[in-house]
Amino acid sequence: MFPGQPATVWGIDHKVRRVVLFWDAPGIPSDQAEFLAVVARSWGLPLAPAANGFCLTIPMVPSKPVSPEKAAVPEPPDDRRLDLTEVEAWIGRLGKLPHLHAWEGGTSLRGHPIHVLEASLDARGLRSRRKLRFLKPTLLFNARHHANEISSTNAALRLAWRLSRTTAGRKLLQRVNVAFIPLENPDGVTALEALLPGCAGHKLHAARYNALGAEWYADYHREHPRFPEARVKRRLWQRWLPRYVLDAHGVPSHEWDQPFAGLANPRFREHWIPRAFVFAILPFIEQPWHPGHVGVMDLAGRLAEAMAADRQIVALNAELSDRYERYARTFAPDIFPASVNETLVVVPTAPRIGDVNFAQVYWPLTEVELITEVVDEVVDGPWLAACVRAHTVAAETLLKRLAQQPPAVLRVNFSRQEGLTLGWRQRQKA
Give the pLDDT of the chain (430 residues) as one tens digit per residue. 444 444 444 444 444 445 555 556 666 677 777 777 776 666 666 777 776 666 666 655 454 454 544 457 899 999 999 999 999 999 999 999 999 999 999 999 999 999 999 999 864 445 677 777 778 899 999 999 999 999 999 999 999 999 999 999 999 999 999 999 999 999 999 999 998 888 777 778 788 888 898 888 889 988 899 999 999 999 999 999 999 999 999 987 666 666 665 666 667 777 777 888 998 999 998 899 999 999 999 999 999 999 999 999 999 988 888 888 888 888 888 877 776 666 788 888 877 777 888 999 998 899 999 999 999 888 889 999 999 999 999 999 999 999 998 766 666 666 666 666 666 565 555 4
**Beta bridge partners of residue 281, listed in sequence order:** 347, 371
pLDDT score at 124: 41
Cβ pair 76, 90 in contact under 8 A = yes
d(CA 283, CA 1): 41
Closest CA to 403 of 296, 284, 243: 243
pLDDT at res. 166: 94
Strands 244-252 and 368-377 come out as parallel
381-403 and 151-165 helices, crossing angle to 10°: 50
Are the beta carbons of 237 and 254 closer than 8 angstroms?
Answer: no
Sequence-distant (≥ 6) Cβ neighbours of residue 235 within 8 angstroms: 105, 106
A 10 A CB-CB count for 87 gives 23
Closest residue by Cα to residue 214 from 235, 191, 180, 196: 191
CA distances from 271 to 55, 229, 326, 374, 406 (A): 63, 25, 15, 12, 40
Give the number of other CB atoms < 10 A from CB of residue 162.
20
Q: Is 374 helix (H, G, I), strand (E, B) or coil?
A: strand
Domains of the chain (ranges, CATH numbers): 1-62 (no CATH), 69-403 (3.40.630.10)
Contacts of 232 (CB under 8 A, 6+ apart): 105, 106, 114, 116, 181, 184
- DSSP secondary structure of 288-353: TTSTTHHHHHHHHHHHHHHHHT-HHHHHHHHHHHHHHIIIIITT-TTTSPPPSSSSSEEEEPPHHH
Q: Specify the DSSP class assigned to residue 67.
A: P
Determine the pLDDT at residue 14.
43
Query: What integer pLDDT is reported at residue 264 of this predicted model?
Result: 67
Per-residue model confidence (pLDDT) at position 13: 45
Let me know: does 366 contact 245? Beta carbons within 8 Å: yes
- pLDDT of 338 reads 72
- Reported as half-sphere exposure (CB side, CA atoms, 13 A), residue 80 has a value of 7
430 Cβ contact list (under 8 Å, min separation 6): 404, 405, 406, 407
End-to-end CA distance of the chain: 22
